[in-house]
Amino acid sequence: MSANSRMTTATHTLAWMALVCPQRPDGIVTSDQIADSVNTNPVVIRRTLGHLRDAGLVESRRGVGAGWRLTRPPEEMTLRDVHQAVETDPLLALHAATPNPKCPVGAGIPPVLREAYDRAEESMRRELATVTIADVLRDTLAP
């Protein structure tokens, strides 16, 4: 299994936008420009931006001067916001197939694990809520 990088790509995208958008009169950047920083295909960035738009973190402009811009200051965007925008699956999943209900472990383990996993995910969400995109950008640019 490989790790999912949607959260990292989305965070990189927003941090780059937080750096570059204020330097532009209209605050607009393109997916091609963002893709150059992330070093990925612009289609990946457009898909990511679509999720971020649906969550209200960015907005798009069509036509002349088309592109993307932040909808609020990076100090008001947390990593929890980003996570909620791009991660639809639980952090930790239960069995892919239902365990054997005739086995004492198979019958009892799903609710035990779900409770533990739910606590772990809530802990992660609380931690992500303490870090803003502005924090990420500041620490990224620090010498």
User: Is 75 among the domain residues?
Assistant: yes
Q: Show the tokens assigned to 50.
A: 């679509």
Q: Domain total for the chain?
A: 1
CATH number at residue 32: 1.10.10.10
Residue 118 domain-assigned (yes or no)? no
Question: What phi and psi, each to the nearest 5 degrees, are found at residue 59?
Answer: -135, 155
Q: Which helix (H) or strand (E) holds 69?
A: strand 67-70
**Per the domain annotation, does 74 fall within a domain?**
yes
Per-residue pLDDT of the chain (143 residues; tens, 9 = 90+): 446 799 999 999 999 999 999 999 899 999 999 999 999 999 999 999 999 999 999 999 998 888 999 999 999 999 999 999 999 888 888 999 999 999 999 999 999 999 999 999 999 999 999 999 999 999 999 98
What pTM does this model have? 0.89
